[in-house]
Amino acid sequence: MPFLALGLNPLLLKATKELGYTDPTPVQAGAIPPALEGRDVLATAQTGTGKTAAFLLPIMHRLLLQPRKGIRVVVISPTRELAEQIETAAKGFAAHTDLKSTLVVGGRPIGAQERAIQAGPDIVVATPGRLLDHMNSLGAKFAGAAVLVLDEADSMLDMGFLPDVKRIVKKLPGRRQTLLFSATMPPTIANLAAELLKNPVTVQIGKRTATAVGITQAAYPVPAHLKNALLRHLLRSTEMPSILVFTRTKHAARKLAKQVATDGFTVAELHSNRTPSQRSSAMAGFKKGDCQVMVATNIAARGLDVAHVTHVISTDVPDVPEDYVHRIGRTGRAGATGDAFILVSPDEEASLARIERQVGQRLPRVTLPDFDYQQLAPKPVAAPAPRGGGGRPKAAGRGNPPPRRR
Ligand code: AMP
């Protein structure tokens, strides 16, 4: 089915055509028709499936049918990065219309945001905390916001935003259209949906916990103390044009980023110890391809859309399987292919088994023939180095190390 068949406003179709969209993705084909009718929608879709257009296009179509009257749509996203992406998409779709949108996220000057809200844009894309701040002081401006979108609702709940979301909803008109998008549908989200949505149309794309098609997954068993060494070995010895590496903590992210930079790679860091401007420039650098490697904590797993990510490497095994699904969804975007590797220490096998149950497959175990799994093992200080058994780290690729890529 081509986009034309959806009956969207020609000005929006023109923009989608310019963006290279010819056919709607499955979530778009499922969500756009009921949303155009003003129905509530509850969509479970794999990450990278085109969710943003699935809610923005029908909403914008309906906005174009009404007179302008200040803020009419509020889109809530769990992270600044995702909110920025959504707002950029909104501007792109609105290119041939007079619809206006604004971004309201934490870590940015509040005065400029207040002025933007006062000006009455049609669409506000926001993170929950900062939106509430503005609603507390400028509540009247939101009185006409009769469309609410909750994007990546499962992440929003994981991040503890449920109370804020409920407060926001109370300040919006009771008669409204609500669209809830979530990568996964745990019972907490189903309950929230039952509370917020009226007679919703349910759109479910693929298996509820499925990972995007096109992603090849593999597990690399390795002792915990050799994880960084194995990762660096992988980076040096494998062709990986654009790599997103996840660590459990910001401290680990920082340390690993330094090590990888020492190896000659261009690296960006994304975690909550970085300032908003550092986070923005890390994202921009990675998106533009200036940085080959991005080292991040889970914050980047939420909704990050970088079309060219070829490899996602997790250096820890998330306790919550959904976190793993989010992480690897950062590659294989919009039908592309990608590799997702996870480094697993012996004490993480149980968590990996939970993930395997969730994604419905056993990940192949990969052992690298030219990596010395005995190296750097803690030894008594005075013990002599074993002969011929590989006491020292070996260089990658033996003999002919591959050139380092930037
Ligand atoms: P999203 O899941 O909304 O983050 O979208 C993932 C990526 O797919 C984005 O880069 C979109 O621009 C792209 N995309 C969304 N819908 C389409 C479509 N119908 N045709 C081609 N690309 C699309």
Surface-to-core class of residue 77, CB atoms within 10 Å of its CB (0-12 exposed, 13-18 middle, 19+ buried): buried
Write out pLDDT tens, residues 56-77.
Answer: 999 999 999 999 889 999 999 9
Mean pLDDT over 136-141 rounds to 94
Which is more confident, 185 or 84?
84
User: What mean pLDDT comes out for the span 158-186?
Assistant: 91
Testing ligand 1's pocket by substitution, the residue of 1, 21, 88 carrying the most ligand atoms inside 8 A of its CB is 21
Q: Share the mean pLDDT of the chain.
A: 85
Which pLDDT score, from 0 to 100, does residue 213 have? 52
CA distances from 63 to 87, 114, 208 (A): 16, 22, 31
pLDDT digits (tens, 9 = 90+) for 15-28: 999 998 988 988 99
Is the distance from the beta carbon of residue 177 to the nearest atom of ligand 1 less than 6 Å? Answer: no
Q: How do residues 190-208 score in pLDDT, each as one tens digit?
A: 889 999 999 999 998 754 3
The tens digit of pLDDT for each residue in 244-274 reads 999 999 999 999 999 999 999 999 998 888 8
Cα-to-centroid distance, 10 and ligand 1 (Å)? 19
| CATH number of the domain located at residue range(s) 215-359 in this protein | 3.40.50.300
The residue with greater pLDDT, 271 or 93, is 93
As a whole-number percent, the residues of the chain with pLDDT over 90 amount to 53
Cα separation, 292 vs 314, whole angstroms: 16
Among 12, 17, 22, 52, which residue has the most ligand 1 atoms within 8 Å of its CB, making it the best to mutate? 52
Asked if domains 3-204 and 215-359 share a fold, the reply is yes
What is the residue with the minimal CA distance to atom 15 of ligand 1?
Answer: 50
Whole-number Å distance, alpha carbon 66 to ligand 1 midpoint, is: 27
Predicted pLDDT at 46: 65
The residue whose C-alpha atom lies closest to atom 11 belonging to ligand 1 is 50
Structural domain boundaries in the chain: 3-204, 215-359
CATH of domain 3-204: 3.40.50.300
- For the segment 146-156, the average pLDDT, to the nearest whole number, is 93
Atom of ligand 1 nearest to the CA of 335: 8
Indicate if ligand 1 lies below 6 Å from the C-beta of 321: no
